[in-house]
Amino acid sequence: MPKDIRNLAKDFQHKSVDLSENHEEKFLKKLQEELPKRKKSFTWIYTAASILLVVGLGVKFYPTNKLEPIINKENNVQSEVNLGDISPEMQKIENYYLTAINYEIASLEVTTENKALLDEYFEKISKLDVDYKRLNQKLKKDGVNNETINALITNLQLRLQLLIQLKDQLNDLQSKKSKNENFSA
């Protein structure tokens, strides 16, 4: 049976409760006892330390070699030239090949069976790397010419081709090893 809330409100008699004189003091005392003690917050120190760390790393690893050609161009002396300084397209080509070379090197798995083969290929690649540095010096000394640019790009292509050949030989070696294991088992 529903009751009308208005009738209930009319019939309600307010009971008066007398609080002691020091009720507020007792309440605050109990509240302080129940609440945990606040520890000092050092978040501002952590924030400042992280900002200093980021700024320090930024200063340490800021690529200053990108500014050197600009500064030296103002003085009409150029310290280092590479494909990226010639044009943005050459920069893309150089970055593409260097990224592909580094990826191929990183994806190689060194084992005792393939170590000799890896050493042989890395020796060839290191010779090409020395040749690449020599060509960069020639580009710096003689200036920009198509012959040197083509030689630099060809050098990058040869290094990548050597790594691909190495990977193919490693795959062949692995498949022969797995065939021999299957055959002997």
- The residue written with tokens 């340490």 in the block is 60
pLDDT at 131: 92
- Which of 119-128, 155-164, 169-178 bottoms out in mean pLDDT, i.e. has the lowest? 169-178
Predicted TM-score (pTM) of the model is: 0.52
Q: In which band, very low, low, confident or very high, does the pLDDT at 56 lie, cut at 50, 70 and 90?
A: confident
Alpha-carbon span 111 to 100, nearest angstrom:
22
**What does the domain layout of the chain look like in residue ranges?**
42-79, 80-176
Q: Which of 84-90's residues contact partners 24+ apart within 8 Å by CB, and which partners?
A: 86/144, 86/149, 90/149
What are the tens digits of pLDDT across the range 11-29?
Answer: 777 777 777 888 888 888 8
Alpha-carbon span 184 to 48, nearest angstrom:
65
- Which of 60-64, 72-76, 128-132 bottoms out in mean pLDDT, i.e. has the lowest? 72-76
